[in-house]
């Protein structure tokens, strides 16, 4: 489906309500896929849908919230910070899912409900300091922290993430930090790999993590192309972008 043009500044699409209708249709199809996947997997719970809104304007987040979306994900701090500032009074949770540089922790602490891409001790330390300052200043809640684990054989070389052998060190660091809550794991299926095998591996890593940290039950896995496999192997959060928002909007 071709994306509908719209005006970033005014938040109105060029076809009246066409953009909202497009989003509603796409969102409905994804929710149907989720329901079907849950049924096939024999699950009684449904994963939380995080709509990945990178490259799309704040106006689309408003539309999505009006359609019942409660969670959105962003990959870049500059974009996420700008959108969240514009949508201060919109009831939506922001999830940071991109690679995080330590020097961006202070900014992310101002808006993020979770950071799902923690793969280094330095990031944990930076987030702990930033969240402590933000809690003192605004009384914000604890930050949900997901350890991003690489499912590639050569961990970290392709799509980011910590080596599975480093998960416990990061988990202990997060759990001991005031203001941070160890939520679980996040992963991306390796390019060209069978997502079923990848997410089965992730489920095993999660099981090992939960044996030591029983509250860290979150599994953020699955995108537009592989959500069914993620649901099959226990994903609690799905990160869906293009199947809901379509292609990146044209500039100019």
pLDDT of residue 8: 40
Q: Is the pLDDT of residue 89 over 50?
A: yes
| Distance separating alpha carbons of residues 79 and 183, to the nearest angstrom | 24
Q: What angle do CA 188, 197, 190 make, to 5 degrees?
A: 30
Angle between helix 195-212 and 167-175 (nearest 10) = 50
Specify burial of residue 103 (Cβ count, 10 A radius: 0-12, 13-18, 19+).
exposed
| Distance separating alpha carbons of residues 179 and 133, to the nearest angstrom | 10
Can you give the pTM of this predicted structure?
A: 0.91
More confident call, 8 vs 123: 123
Q: Is the pLDDT of residue 23 over 80?
A: yes
More confident call, 64 vs 156: 64
pLDDT of residue 154: 59
The predicted-structure confidence for 173-190, as pLDDT tens digits, reads as follows 999 999 999 999 999 999
- The answer to whether the CB of 191 falls within 8 A of the CB of 158 is yes
pLDDT of residue 251: 58
Average pLDDT on 210-238 reads: 98
The predicted-structure confidence for 37-59, as pLDDT tens digits, reads as follows 999 999 999 999 999 999 999 99
Q: Is the pLDDT of residue 12 over 80?
A: no
| Distance separating alpha carbons of residues 50 and 69, to the nearest angstrom | 8
Closest CA to 139 of 114, 109, 161: 109
């Amino acid at each position: 489906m071709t994306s509908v043009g719209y005006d970033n500044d005014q938040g109105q699409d060029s076809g009246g309500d066409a953009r909202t209708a497009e989003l509603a249709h796409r969102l409905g199809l994804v929710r149907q896929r989720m329901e079907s996947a849950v049924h096939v997997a024999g699950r009684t719970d449904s994963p939380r849908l995080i709509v990945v809104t990178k490259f799309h304007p704040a106006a689309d987040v408003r539309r999505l919230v009006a359609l019942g979306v409660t969670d959105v994900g962003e990959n870049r701090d500059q974009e996420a910070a700008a959108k969240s500032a514009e949508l201060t009074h919109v009831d939506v949770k922001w999830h940071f899912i991109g690679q995080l540089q330590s020097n961006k922790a202070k900014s992310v602490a101002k808006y993020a409900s979770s950071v799902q891409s923690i793969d280094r001790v330095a990031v944990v330390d930076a987030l702990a300091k930033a969240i402590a300052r933000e809690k003192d200043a605004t009384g914000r809640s604890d930050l949900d922290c997901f350890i991003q684990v690489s499912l590639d054989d050569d961990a970290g070389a392709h799509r980011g993430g910590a080596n599975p052998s480093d998960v416990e060190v990061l988990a202990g660091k997060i759990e001991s930090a005031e203001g941070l809550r160890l939520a679980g794991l996040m992963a991306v299926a390796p390019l060209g790999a069978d997502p079923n095998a990848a997410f089965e591996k992730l489920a095993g890593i999660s099981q090992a993590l939960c044996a030591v940290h029983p509250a860290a039950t979150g599994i953020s896995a699955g995108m537009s192309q592989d959500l069914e496999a993620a649901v099959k192997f226990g994903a609690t959060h799905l990160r869906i972008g293009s199947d809901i928002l379509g292609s990146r909007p044209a500039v100019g």
